Structure 1
Amino acid sequence: MDHLVMLISKYIMIFLFLIYTFECFHVFKFTENKEKQKSIYKKQRRNIFLLHFMGFLVIFISTLNPFIIGFYLMQVVLFSGIFLIYKMFYKKASELLLNNMCMFLSISFIIITRISVEKAMKQFMILVLAAIFSLLIPLTIRNVKFFRKFTWMYAAVGILSLLLILVAGRTSYGAKLSVSVLGFSFQASEFVKISFVFFVASMLEKNVDRKRLIITTSIAALHVLILIASKDLGSAFIFFVTYTMMLYVATENVLYLFGGFFSTFLGLFIASQLFSHVKQRIVAWKNPLSVIDKEGYQVCQSLFAIGTGGWFGLGLCQGRPDKIPVVVQDFIFAAISEELGGVFALCIIMICISCFLMILNISIEMKDSFYQMIALGLGTTYAIQVFLTIGGVTKFIPSTGVTLPLVSYGGSSLLSTMIIFGIIQGLYIIHYDRYIDNNKGSGTGKTNSQHVGGGINSESKYTLEEYD
């Protein structure tokens, strides 16, 4: 009987997730019908809670651990609280981004609890603090107008934080990634990527003359060089690509884009010659089976898990994700693929794309160049992090040790991603308040969206005084 419940639940979870994913894109068909959109968002939230319930039901049946019931109820209360607070105080926020965030969190707790209840409980405690903090961010972004004035503070805090990791950081898998503060492990690069985006945005939104570009590029390069010195090449790649995209959009000069990509590949080649752990990862990427007892073990186990799961998975609690080293962090996508299936894993990718497109759309819609660049930069960091994680797990690219946002275990990653989503929600509310509502008030009811590639310094952009 238990086996039958687990089998049926597997297909129910896949079906619910397929419907949810379809609605992420189907909702854009009803841009002029807000009532229909609200109905779709309500269905999505129902699917989140149903999928979450089915996952924990299977875990409880498999373990018969009564703590699972209480832990599940704690999560339900937290998710319900997040939805309620947004409904009460942020009625104009993006419901799609909110739903996607909570769906990722529910999947995260299902798979982490299945692997380690202890780690899931630690992650939950961090999530409570992250939720409280991030729920204040949209209000702060909406009402505080001097974020663009802290240009050099962003640079100083970012560089000093990365230098702290370089000097006193703890080495993990060949790279200095974190430092312990009062017993808590703190990965600075997860938060510096936010201050980095704010720094670049505040520099490039004013003007893009040669002197300013040289200064901005020099400070950005210093961030990247410190990360390279710490051997944190995954974060260095994220910073570099993010800056390249923001520079290209700010200047509209395609040479910067091509130059950035050329420099990226050149830097990766040099790193592969200088750092032994990078060489090992490249060997493991090229032919993991040839070094399966050493460098290739992690990648091989990941590929075995994905292959074993097939399209529909073995079922929750039926696989062996514990065979994959660092599975709840870098390789959680492989564990999901093994037990919930390739279809479920593809839906995760599609929802990540949905989040990125939504953030990119917010950047396109913004009329203030500073806010536009913030959205673009944060969206790029999110997209690149997803690409590096899933690419490494599937052997599309060498593993970089980057976590999957909102899904992987890790307090720094969880908190920083919650902050990013909070900032994006704040920008969405700003756009809604100052542009859409104004247009409705004037009787037009239309928006004149302008493509990001049109440049951030064009005359059609509002100045700070006009916009505020």
Structure 2
Amino acid sequence: MINVIVELSKYIILTLMIVYTFHCFYTVRQPDEEERNELLRQQLILIFFIDFTAFLVIYLKTFDYKVVRFYIEMQIFFAVIQILYRVLYKKASLLLLNNMCMLLSVGFIMLCRLDITMATKQLLVAAGASAVALAIPVMIRKMRFLRKLTWIYAGIGVVLLAAVFLLARTSYGAKLTLLGVQPSEAIKITFVFFMASFLSRDTSLKAVVQVSAVAAFHVGILVLSRDLGSAVIFFVAYLVMVYVSTRNVGYLGLGLVGGSGAAVVAYHLFGHVRQRVSAWKDPMAVYQNEGYQIVQSLFAIGTGGWFGMGLCQGSPESIPVVKNDFIFSAICEELGGIFAICLILVCMSFFLMIVNIALRIINPFYKLIALGLGTEYAFQVFLTIGGATKFIPMTGVTLPLVSYGGSSLLSTILMLAIIQGLYILREDEDEEFEKRKKEALQRIRAREEIGDRTRRF
């Protein structure tokens, strides 16, 4: 009977995920506010039933009461977050909030299936990060001096990255953590704020050279620390922000050429890079060593097929570091390729919403922040999924909100809180525009009435 429930559950979860993904794109295009709110409520119901079905299966396969307790705690966390955002920020983007909850749900489901202890730690980090994040939208709205802290952002980034390079221990071939924390995750935010602060005031050649020097310092330290995934994310965010702020294709071309040259140099300088490229080119040839991880990932993806094997029916534990770098492979194996495609589309919906917010913001500082944070998010998703599927060499970055990792989870939730603050600012700008438009119309009507009275006399 349990096996029948497990088999049916994967189709139920998949169907609910497909409907949720459709809602992500359809809701954005819905002009009617009442209809949009109804779709958002339906999304919450879909998330609830996906969670209920998944955790029921995990419990039936393990009979571990910790799973039930975790499920209850997770539902309380989601309910509190949804209620607080609705009470504190009536102009917040509920679609953005729903997508965050959906991605967290997928992560919690897979982590609970793999290791309930790690899932509990992840939930605690998510709750703490969300508590801190609740204050960020109002800070973005009120703290207008953030644009003036240009060199403070740069200083924080350089000092923390230098500390990691000098003091951190090497793990998986790279220096990543200091005192159990990965500073590069937080520096993604300060780096974007630095770039936005500098380029929103000046886009001359001198300014571009200065901002490029600071960006090169960030990326250079990351490369020396062999944190190549973060280095690539920083570099892409730098390129996009410089190009958008200057609208100069030449800068984009120079950046791409320089980045390509740096990649070649890194390949020849670091054996760690050569190993990953070798594993990417022909993982079977080095299966016993550096190719083992990617081969196991591909086996998992192929085994899952379109519909997956069902929760607790696969063997994702055979993939090294599956909870961090290769959780996408575990999702493909047990929930299926169609579910994984829907997950990618939800991430894409996330990014498109952020870009839409950036395009509609008038203030150039906030516009660049939204664009920079959105670029970092999208490219991190690309690196993680591309590495797991052998589309690109593995870079060792996590899938935001889904993979296990306290620093990454904290940074991503704070980034989304900043985006929420920018969304609220955009709503304020729209209200101000409408207010001025009404005032202008009232003045025009008043003048017309005065003109009519004058003509009568």
Q: Deviations over 1:56-89 (max 9, x none)?
A: 1111000001111111000000000000011111
Post-superposition CA distance 1:385-430 (Å, at most 9, x none): 0010000000000000000000000000000000000000000001
Asked whether the equivalents of residues 165 and 179 of structure 1 are also in contact (C-alpha less than 8 Å), the reply is yes
Q: Find the counterpart in structure 1 of residue 36 from structure 2.
A: 37
Query: Distance in 2 between the 1:258 and 1:381 partners?
Result: 20
Matches within 5 A, 1:5-84: 5-30=5-30, 32-84=31-83
The answer for the alignment partner of 1:3 in structure 2 is 3
Instruction: For 2:354 and 2:370, locate their aligned partners in 1 and report how far apart those are by CA, in whole Å.
Output: 6
CA distance in 1, matches of 2:263, 2:20: 38
Structure 2 equivalent of residue 109 of structure 1: 108
The 1-side partners of 2:261 and 2:213 are apart by 18
Instruction: Give the % identical residues.
Output: 51
Structure 1 equivalent of residue 87 of structure 2: 88
CA distance in 2, matches of 1:42, 1:393: 33
Task: Verify: 1:399 aligned to 2:398, yes or no.
Answer: no
Distance in 2 between the 1:54 and 1:265 partners? 46
Secondary structure at the aligned position of 2:175 is classed as strand
In terms of mean alpha carbon deviation, does 250-259 or 192-201 score higher? 250-259
* Partners of 1:45 and 1:388 in 2: CA distance: 29
Q: Distance in 2 between matches of 1:56 and 1:260?
A: 47
Cα distance in 2 for residues equivalent to 1:157 and 1:417: 18
> Where do 1:128-277 residues align within 5 Å?
128-180=127-179, 185-277=180-272
Aligned to 1:119: 118
Tell me the distance in 1 between the aligned counterparts of 2:39 and 2:170.
Answer: 46
Alpha-carbon distance between aligned partners in 1 of 2:42 and 2:436, rounded to the nearest angstrom: 30
Q: Is the 8 A contact 1:241 1:260 kept in 2?
A: no
Question: What letter is aligned with 2:95?
Answer: L
> Aligned residue for 2:454?
none
Letter in 2 for 1:108: G
SS in 1 for 2:164: helix
- Cα distance, 1:124 vs. partner? 1.2
Deviation at 1:443, TM superposition (A): 4.3
What secondary structure does 2:81 align onto? Answer: helix
Contact 2:150 2:198 in 1 (8 A): yes
1:299-314 alignment to 2 at 5 Å? Answer: 299-314=294-309
The structural deviation recorded for 1:190 is 0.4
- Confirm or deny that 1:431 pairs with 2:421: no
Q: After the TM superposition, which residues 416-455 of structure 1 pair with which residues of structure 2 at under 5 Å, given as runs?
A: 416-436=411-431, 438-439=433-434, 442-443=437-438
1:247 partner SS = helix
How far apart are residue 33 of structure 1 and its match? Answer: 0.8
TM-score after normalising by structure 2: 0.95
Deviation of 1:269 after TM superposition, in Å, equals 1.4
Give the residue type in structure 2 aligned to 1:111: M
Supply the distance in 1 between the matched residues of 2:21 and 2:177 (Cα, whole angstroms): 35
Which segment is superposed worse, 363-372 or 143-152? 143-152
Cα distance in 2 between the residues matched to 1:199 and 1:324 = 38
1:323-346 Cα offsets, whole Å, 9 max, x none, are 000000000000000000000000
- 1:102-121 deviation per Cα after TM superposition (whole angstroms, max 9, x unaligned): 00001100000100011111
Mind listing any 5+ residue stretches in structure 2 that lack a counterpart? 440-457
User: Is 2:323–2:404's contact at 8 Å kept on the other side of the alignment?
Assistant: yes
**CA pair 57-441 structure 1, distance change in 2 beyond 3 A:** farther
Does the CA-based 8 Å contact 1:173-1:277 persist in structure 2? no
Residue deviations 1:186-227 (CA, integer Å, cap 9, x gap): 001101010000001000000112222221111111101111
My pick for the range that moved more, 426-435 or 328-337, is 426-435
Q: Secondary structure at the match of 1:186?
A: coil
Separation in 1 of the partners of 2:126 and 2:27? 28
Residue in 2 that maps onto 1:290: 285
Letter in 1 for 2:187: V
> How far, CA to CA, are the matches of 1:62 and 1:235 in structure 2?
38
Residue type at the aligned position of 2:50: L
CA positional deviation for 1:440: 5.9
TM-score, normalised on structure 1? 0.92
Structure 1 residue 96: Cα displacement: 1.2
Residue 376 of structure 2 is aligned to residue 376 of structure 1 = no
Structure 1 residue ranges, 4+ long, deviating more than 6 angstroms after superposition: none
User: Is contact 1:14–1:340 with CA below 8 Å preserved after alignment?
Assistant: yes
Q: State the match for 2:445 in structure 1.
A: none
SS at match of 2:64: coil
2:66 and 2:116 in contact (8 A); partners too = no
* Cα shift at 1:438: 3.7
Q: In the alignment, which of 341, 347, 356 is matched to residue 352 of structure 1?
A: 347
